[in-house]
Amino acid sequence: MLFTILTLFPEALESYLQVGVLGIAREKGLIEVRLVDYRDWARDRHRTVDDRPFGGGPGMVLKPEPIADCIEWVDDTWGPHRRIALCPAGKPFRQADAADVLASERVLLVCGRYEGFDQRLIDELAIETLSIGDFVLAGGELPALCVVEAVARLIPGTLGDERSAVLDSFQAGGLDHPHYTRPRVWRGRGVPEVLLNGDHAAIDAWREEEARKRTLRVRPDLGSTHSPNTPDRIPRPEGP
């Protein structure tokens, strides 16, 4: 799967793309990520990509010409891409959207800056818009990384245990259950006994109930009546 990210700061993205889940996915050839500086398509010697907004107001707006030229070059060079711009005015990005993006062979992620894009660019090139939350960042680079990682996690072979992606929060609408590891007692706090008795049916029921309670307490807007850990969805490892 090919991700092409259009950004003014490719060097800021490269280090993160080399480590963790994304580094593994790239090393295995599961994803390819290309970084393109759309300032290279500016039309003056100062490589200007922004200008003052018509109608007045603070800040600067990204000009349509250099970004459009860059997008069209990308499609001509590497094939047509699904086009997505990262900006606060976009559709909220959800886990279901990650699965939807995964269905695309090539994805173009355009990172906004300043006050955002000239709307004509979005309309003329039929660019989707996505937002990772109800807050404002300096640019779309971090949201682009979020999208790439959320999608990459769903590709078989990326994670060490593929059950991890199946059981993630939001996969079935609710949040994940609490997790515990060694030591059994830490600062006087013990691990719930149900997790220590080897009764998988009881463990599944506990996880289901804890996930339901957490979802209702933390994210009642999700309205989930079950967790990602419904017993018939949990692949059990072979052996003892």
Contact (CB, 8 A) for 87 and 112: yes
Catalytic-labelled residue, pool 153, 207, 212, 214: 153
What residue type is 65 in one-letter code? Answer: E
Residue 140 CB neighbour total at 10 angstroms: 30
Query: Among candidates 238, 211, 235, which has minimal Cα distance to 225?
Result: 211
Catalytic-labelled residue, pool 88, 128, 209, 219: 88
d(CA 147, CA 94): 10
Active-site annotation holds for 153: yes
Active-site annotation holds for 238: no
Catalytic-labelled residue, pool 118, 141, 149, 168: 168
Catalytic-labelled residue, pool 115, 128, 162, 209: 115
How many CA atoms does the CB half-sphere of 34 hold within 13 Å? 14
* Alpha-carbon dihedral sign for residues 14, 163, 100, 96: negative
Per the listing, tokens 């609408």 go with: 173
Positions annotated as catalytic residues are 88, 115, 153, 168
